[in-house]
Amino acid sequence: MTATETTYEIMTRYFAAEKSESLLFIGVGIIALILAVVLWRGSGAIRGMAIPLAAVALIQLTVGATVYLRTDGQVATLAQQLKQAPDAFKRAETTRMRRVMTSFQWYKALEVGLILLGLASAILRRPPSLAFGIGVGLVLQAGLMLALDFPAEHRGQEYLRHVQTMPIPGL
């Protein structure tokens, strides 16, 4: 972010990155779902891995598609609000982004919890058990989600910081 960038430019860059990452979520979800179908044909630990892969893949596909499909309309609405009522934009976007950032804290806690649960399952249940496979699948998917959330959280923090400090013309 440079000193000469406008709030509009920063906002559109933030949402473009969100939209790009949503495509990554969709791609990862498709790959995980295909892998889950293939693994489901196995038995024991192999079949167990398919369960969390498929479950989290459905979340990845849903979140990815939702973000992708809503982003253009959201940007258009926010751009109009920024132009017509920058003070209302600043208040509303600050409130919304604070909720988003709080959500990231919950996501991280859930993802770390799932990683720990997966590790416990994998350690306590040896292969070729179904529980071992579920544990390994949980570690893989929760770890991937955690890794994908870090850049999104960082972008959100930067965008929120800008919105909170943006000057309001005429005030």
Structure-block tokens of residue 80: 């109009």
- CB–CB of 160/97 below 8 Å? yes
Q: How many angstroms separate the CA atoms of 4 and 7, rounded?
A: 10
Q: What is the mean pLDDT of residues 42-71?
A: 97
pTM for the model stands at 0.91
Q: How many angstroms separate the CA atoms of 165 and 155, rounded?
A: 16
- CB–CB of 33/54 below 8 Å? yes
Q: Which of 1-10, 21-30, 47-56, 146-155 has the lowest mean pLDDT?
A: 1-10
Q: How many angstroms separate the CA atoms of 159 and 97, rounded?
A: 8
List pLDDT tens digits, range 65-111: 999 999 999 999 999 999 999 999 999 999 999 999 999 999 999 99
Structure-block tokens of residue 134: 């579920």
- Give the model's confidence band at 1: pLDDT under 50 very low, under 70 low, under 90 confident, else very high: low
- Give the model's confidence band at 168: pLDDT under 50 very low, under 70 low, under 90 confident, else very high: confident
Segment holding 106, helix H or strand E? helix 86-124
